[in-house]
Amino acid sequence: MHMSRDHLHGAVTAPGVTAHDADAPFLELLARGAAAEAYDRPVLLARAERAPDERIAALEHARLLALRVRAELEGRRRREAELSALFETAHDLAGLRDVDAVLQAIVQRARSLLGTDVAYLSLNDPARGDTYMRVTEGSVAARFQQLRLGMGEGLGGLVAQTARPYVTDDYFRDDRFRHTAAIDAGVRDEGLVAILGVPLTLGPNVIGVLFAADRRARVFEREQIALLGSFAALAAAAIDTANLLTETRSVLAGLERANEIIRDRSAVIERASDVHDRLAELVLRGGGVQDVAAAVSHVLDGAVEFTDTAPADALEASRGEGHAVRHGDDWVAAVTAGGELLGALVLHGHPGLDPVDQLTLERAAMVTSLLLLARRSAAEAEHRVRGELLDDLLDARDRDPRLLRERAARLSADLDATHVVLAARLDAVAPDAGHEAPARRRLWAAASHLAATGHGLAAVRDGGTVLLLPLEPGDSATELARRTALHLGGAVHEAVTVGASGPVRDLAGTPDAVVAGYEESRRCLDALRLLGRRGDGAAAEDFGFLGLLLAGERDVTGFVTRTIGKVVAYDERRGTDLLHTLDAYFASGMSPARTKNALHVHVNTVAQRLERVGRLLGDDWQSPARALEIQLALRLNRLADPPRH
């Protein structure tokens, strides 16, 4: 409920003002949960109406009290949410069935309450003498999710050594901890900037670290550090409980194996049915590939891992037969979907496998393929949003610039920054369509990830992929194209050729900017392929006049502008005739003496004009290659604008 101006005016000017009168507008603001800025309005209005000093002082005092009450209420709400999350987590721990699920819930709630982009948890591996990622939430980079770190390395190593929380608001500029190439590469892939880490302790020992991180600079408050520490304590308790459960289960498993001799076949069938139910429940609960491997490891009493580097002969045999096959002391079950090979489940060190357990491993491979397809669908949905925005920039030129900027901002892209349009295409000759389609999907996935981590956009177009990436200060379109070709080629394990446009600006406000940039990048891509430079990257400016001969469309205006545009602009701005001087200079065999005769001026005048040309075009303008391009540009310029008689 808002107070009218007349009502407030009456309250200000009425004689005998009481503290209750001054409190009234602020009580109404508190009742409707108004923003902090609204509390200044009654005081400002009283001053504007020249209310008595006593009235203004009373309002000021009431405002401060109301703001203090509001802050206390907000703090109570925040603490209530934090305590509720901690209670729910403790409740999960009390009914612990799956430690991964509990740890995942802890990380999810920590990320939600602290409002960070990413949260993750690492655990120490005493057997290998390092530490590894156990749970991540909000992570998009595969290399980051699979990091294994040596003890004492990175910010986590500092936390583990000191058993104290550490926070950095700019990871790469912080020298308090030891940076390594592997950790920095993973953090850079994920795009993290601000990181908070708190220790997971069991007694005097640090067993891991719980992290919260943002992809932008951020200062973590003391209450947030304490909250993450509370979650870390719950995570350590969950791990301790899981260890006790594991020991108990190990004893029970030993007793069960001793009793297997007298079990009949129906018990084995029942166990297989139980595995099936577990896997079905895992899928419904949204588990991951590693959850499947862990579940099957427990049931088969062996180490099961998902990998894409299984022995090729065993992998092909399993794929062809549709069954798990033995390879030495291991068993390999191919993970396939629609004829596409996605990897394999490998059961290590378990040569004696009965048919029911073999079927269990095969069912687990089938469930793994379903989970991988679901994960791919989710990733493709996210990448599709970026592709739709780039498609709109390429096709729908009448879109509202404001809406385009808002859509880009939600994807961490800035349409007001300088960008380069890149056209990428696979160049390996595909033996058949069955090979080409997966290769294109891999290219699209790699380009989408590059766009997401580089604050750009990507879309599928014309049998290849088009990217819109920001151009950093000091960088060039040529270097960006070469880096992109190397990155995409390494990701898909095939040669990828990339053509780049020149820098493009004001993408939202200039509808044709992206379209023109894409056409230029495609011409550059065609030129690279015609020159046999497959797997390379280059920008249109690298080809000079050869680009006119090789490209399918002749960008004469663009070539003339790049070559002699500065001279043309200088003549138009100053009223000079440097172009005519250049024509005469080249027509006279680049002789200043003959040029001055052709122009009927003094030789010093020719020298001065040529010196001005050098400052505009660069010191190498008379080199054979540059001179050839300049003469061609001069002739094309004359043809495009013939003299009028």
* Residue-wise pLDDT tens digits, 227-262: 888 888 888 888 887 777 777 777 777 667 756 644
* Token pair for 517: 């940039």
- Calculate the CA dihedral of residues 375, 379, 382, 388 and round it to 10 degrees: -130
**110, exposed or middle or buried, with CB in 10 Å at 0-12, 13-18, 19+?**
buried
DSSP track, 488-557: HHHHHTS-EEEEE---B--TTT-THHHHHHHHHHHHHHHHHHHTT-TT-EEEGGGSTTHHHHHSSS--HH
Q: What percent of the chain has pLDDT over 70?
A: 80
Give the closest residue to 102 by CA, choosing from 135, 126, 132, 79.
Answer: 135
Other C-beta atoms within 10 Å of 299: how many? 20
Report the alpha-carbon distance of residue 97 to residue 35 in Å, rounded. Answer: 44
Q: What is the pTM of this model?
A: 0.37
**Which residues on neighbouring strands pair with residue 131, listed in sequence order?**
124, 149
Question: 420 by DSSP, 3-state: which?
Answer: strand
**Residue 501 scores a pLDDT above 80:** yes
Report the alpha-carbon distance of residue 584 to residue 565 in Å, rounded. Answer: 18
* Residue 497 confidence (pLDDT): 93
* Token pair for 263: 């079990």
Query: In which band, very low, low, confident or very high, does the pLDDT at 42 lie, cut at 50, 70 and 90?
Result: confident
**Which residues on neighbouring strands pair with residue 123, listed in sequence order?**
132, 208
User: Does residue 137 or residue 17 have the better pLDDT?
Assistant: 137
Q: SS3 string of 548-593? A: HHHCCCCCHHHHHHHHHHHHHHHHHHHCCCHHHHHHHHHHCCCCHH
Strand 464-470, strand 419-426: pairing: antiparallel
* Residue 10 confidence (pLDDT): 38
Chain-centre distance of CA 516, in angstroms?
A: 27
Q: Which of 10-14, 46-50, 218-222 has the highest mean pLDDT?
A: 218-222
How do residues 371-385 score in pLDDT, each as one tens digit? Answer: 777 666 655 555 566
**Residue 548 scores a pLDDT above 60:** no
How do residues 587-621 score in pLDDT, each as one tens digit? Answer: 888 888 898 898 898 989 989 999 998 999 888 88
Measured at the CA of 340, the angle between CA 446 and CA 448, to 5 degrees, comes to: 15
Give the closest residue to 111 by CA, choosing from 191, 199, 228, 209.
Answer: 228
**Residue 107 scores a pLDDT above 50:** yes
* Residue 36 confidence (pLDDT): 75
How do residues 45-87 score in pLDDT, each as one tens digit? Answer: 888 888 888 888 888 888 888 777 777 766 666 665 655 665 5
* Token pair for 39: 């509390």
Question: Do 55 and 12 contact (CB within 8 A), yes or no?
Answer: yes
Mean pLDDT within 197-216? 91
User: Does residue 356 or residue 128 have the better pLDDT?
Assistant: 128
* Residue 67 confidence (pLDDT): 76
Please give the mean pLDDT across all residues of the chain. Answer: 80
Query: In which band, very low, low, confident or very high, does the pLDDT at 138 lie, cut at 50, 70 and 90?
Result: very high
Give the closest residue to 641 by CA, choosing from 590, 576, 574, 572.
Answer: 572
Q: Which amino acid is at 299?
A: V
User: Does residue 601 or residue 6 have the better pLDDT?
Assistant: 601
Question: Do 23 and 3 contact (CB within 8 A), yes or no?
Answer: no
- Tokens 């010093």 belong to residue: 604
Question: Do 383 and 448 contact (CB within 8 A), yes or no?
Answer: yes
**113, exposed or middle or buried, with CB in 10 Å at 0-12, 13-18, 19+?**
buried
**Which residues on neighbouring strands pair with residue 201, listed in sequence order?**
206
**Residue 17 scores a pLDDT above 50:** no
**Which residues on neighbouring strands pair with residue 168, listed in sequence order?**
195
